[in-house]
Amino acid sequence: MKKIVVLSGAGISAESGISTFRDSDGLWENHNVEDVASIDGWYRNPELIIDFYNERRAQLEHCEPNDAHKLVAKLEEKYDVTVVTQNVDNLHERGGSSKIIHLHGELTKACNERKTEVFDIGYAPMKYGERAKDGSLLRPFIVWFGEAVPLLEDAAREVQQADILIIIGTSLAVYPAAGLLYYAPEDAEIYVIDPKQPGAISRRVTYITEKATVGMKQLAEKLDVLP
């Protein structure tokens, strides 16, 4: 059974109604990204960040996985599949994928400030001032700008074993995650699904310049997982 690693970004969830910030001048839902997606922003105004992610969690509850998420899951019928996602939503899980590495955390979880205690909270709102057992403020379980990406090494190990690497819905502009491409073996097949071709890549890749649902359908047909 060949091994597929799927590296997904915001573009795969955009068709489900999950907003992105990369295409809107650094604003995310009318907030500066530095204010709501950085560790400095947390220290400046944790209440703002908790409210912001409460809104994202409430939005997520009413979003559904789209055909791209479902087709990624369908690959498991014929391949050993690991999804490495930069997204904090749970649409890959709800779409049926069974092995997922969330590089940037999970919206439906909370943690203490050191991230040594992690709690499933579903879609419930967090309250500013709630504290963990160690006395620190509870915070969203998100990896913000300015923080280490603790699962990056796990993701790199998966990519190193890939026969096929599928990059879908990411501009390959956010490091260190964007560097994962270069861990793929020299003989791995690499597919990039995105309406816009990313900048120069020093690897041989096949581009599918379509939105995630259309591109993933084309690739699923090529990989023989559609009737």
Q: How many CA atoms lie within 13 A of 84 on its CB side?
A: 28
Catalytic residue status for 62:
no
With H, G, I as helix, E, B as strand and everything else as coil, classify residue 63.
Answer: coil
Question: Please, which residues have CB within 8 angstroms of residue 26's CB and are 6 or more apart in sequence?
Answer: 32, 33
List, in sequence order, every residue forming a beta bridge with 109; answer none if it has no partner: 120
Which one of 69, 92, 102, 104 is the catalytic residue? 104
Between the alpha carbon of residue 84 and those of residues 14, 48, 123, 142, the distances in Å are 17, 29, 22, 15
Bridge-based pairing of strands 189-193 and 206-208 is: parallel
What positions carry a catalytic annotation?
104
